[in-house]
Amino acid sequence: MKKLLNLLVLFTTLFGSLALAQQTSSSKEPARIIGVAKDLKSGEPVGYATAALYKVGSDVSIAGAVADGDGVFYITGFSTGTYELQVTFLGYETVKRTININSTDADINLGEIGMSDEGVALEEVTVQGQRELIEERVDRTIYKAENDKTTAGGDATDVLRRVPMLSVDLDGNVSMRGSANILVLIDNRPSAIAASSISDALRQIPADEIKAVEVITSPSARFDAEGTSGVINIVTKKNNLQGMTLNINSGAGLRGSNLGLQGSARKGKFGFSLGGFGRAGYNILGRFENEQLFPQQSGLTSIRQSADTERRDMFGRYNFGVDYEINKYNFITGSVNFGFRNSNNEQMNFLTQTFAGSQLLSSQNRTTDTRDNSNSIDVSLNYTKTFEKKGRELSILTLYSLNDRENSFTNTLYETEDLEEVLNRIRNVNPSKNEEFTAQIDYVTPLNEKGN
């Protein structure tokens, strides 16, 4: 009995020691990789840096941690082997270290890990801005045409179609808020061609030569009474640089060519300017054919027509100006403007044949020649005097304008197709001429000392 009791005590002590040893082993903390991320230059901790552990040769992270505010991180959950540690943070270069772990019984302290700033070469940055097209003032609206590239290659009619409060119909007639009773000025000066035909004047001015269009809705007494609904002032481009400049813009092709000039010469009180743009079109060929069928009791009657066409165009406007500064308050300016718009349309071998079935009943051949030529010249000499008081100005304007236009139509009918025997010829010639001389004196003075 005593021996049995001793054996029971022995087994109890042995199993208690084994259980205690197992409990002690299971409560042991896992090994850790410890490190501190710090700025290599300043020595300050890099808070919240990311540390990731990779098996060598693998792109998959097996363990990782995020540093605290002092840059300290702890990585657990790894086994023995060779690893690559990567420490990253925004604005810093990635730090890579190779770690050999032979045992997981103790922590691995890497100490401080220096991180350097990441120098990033940025790509080229282009900052784009758009200039305003519309400027509102008290008495006028200004459309800045030089900032609008959509009208390039057109004429002033295309520009005015984009101006607020203006309407332009298919024939080039301009109206302001529904009224055609408007005054059109070119560089603040009237023009004979604009007085006789606004649409012709607009077609003579290339869009590339227009700087701005001013729509004056409340014209003052200095403007003529004919513009009771408003005044349109077309401002052309000028070059006021010192020294001498000349810019030539030209192009040529099989069906058209153009010539643009922009130049100036200025020295001291004298200045000269030259500008303009013109375009010519040629070899614009065409052809049309037409057949009309008329069923009748006796059979089918048909009329066949065919013709070759050719169109030639030329339009543009060029100017030459001189200005002289007498002194601080006195200025003299003079200019010569020449504009042209010529068009010639021809129909050649306009053959008309009438058939009854397949039998030719009659045949006529004709040619037509339509010409629309318009040329204008404006010569002006102006004197301007300013005063010490802001806003006070005296101006004397003299202007001579001449517009010469011809609209003709010639229709020649031939008896035979070979264009040798003329059956009849109709010619309509409509020449016109408008000549004006204008002298105008304006004196402007403000109502108060501030120039208002």
Collect all residues with Cβ–Cβ distance below 8 Å to 72 and sequence separation of at least 6. Answer: 34, 35, 36, 45
Q: Enumerate the domain spans of the chain.
A: 30-115, 134-236, 243-444
Pair of tokens at residue 319 = 């100017």
Q: List Cβ<8 Å contacts ≥24 apart for 434-437.
A: 434/192, 434/193, 434/195, 434/196, 434/401, 434/402, 434/403, 435/192, 435/401, 435/402, 435/403, 436/190, 436/192, 436/195, 436/399, 436/400, 436/401, 436/402, 437/398, 437/399, 437/400, 437/401
Predicted local distance difference test score (pLDDT) of residue 11:
53
Pair of tokens at residue 56 = 């060598």
CA distance 117 to 227: 70
Beta strands in 357-421 (DSSP E): 359-386, 393-414
Longest dimension (CA), the chain: 161
CA distance 435 to 431: 14
Pair of tokens at residue 379 = 């010569």
CA distance 140 to 452: 16
386 strand-pairing partners: 393
CA distance 55 to 61: 7
Predicted local distance difference test score (pLDDT) of residue 183:
81
Pair of tokens at residue 152 = 């390039």
Q: What is the DSSP letter of 208?
A: G
Q: What is the phi/psi pair of residue 238, to 5°?
A: -135, 160
Predicted local distance difference test score (pLDDT) of residue 25:
43
How big is the chain by its Cα radius of gyration, in Å?
46
Predicted local distance difference test score (pLDDT) of residue 3:
54
Predicted local distance difference test score (pLDDT) of residue 129:
65
CATH 3.50.30.30 is held by the domain 30-115: no
pLDDT averaged per 10 residues, the chain (length 452): 51 49 52 92 91 88 90 90 91 90 87 84 70 82 87 85 88 83 78 62 80 84 62 78 78 91 82 87 90 86 91 90 87 89 90 87 88 91 87 87 90 76 87 90 77 50
CA distance 163 to 176: 10
Residue 187, Ramachandran bin (φ over 0: left; ψ between -120 and 50: alpha; else beta): left
CA distance 273 to 169: 34
pTM of the model: 0.51
Q: What is the DSSP letter of 418?
A: T
CA distance 97 to 90: 19
CA distance 344 to 309: 11
User: What is the identity of the amino acid at 120?
Assistant: V
Chosen CATH of 134-236 out of 2.170.130.10, 3.30.70.520, 3.40.50.11440, 3.40.50.150:
2.170.130.10
